Amino acid sequence: MKRRVLLFPARNLADIGRAFPATRRQGAEALIVHTDSLFGSYAREVVRYGGLMSYEPNRPAQMARAAAYVDRILKGARPEDMPVEQPVHFDLTVNLKAARALGIDIPREVLLLADEVLPP
Look at the pTM and tell me if it is higher than 0.85. no
Three-class secondary structure of residue 111 per DSSP: helix
Helical (H) or strand (E) element with 102: helix 96-102
User: Is the pLDDT confidence value at 115 over 90?
Assistant: yes
The model's pLDDT over 88-100, given as tens digits with 9 standing for 90+, comes to 999 999 999 999 9
One-letter amino acid of 107:
P
Give burial (CB, 10 Å; 0-12/13-18/19+) of 35: exposed
pLDDT for residue 36: 66
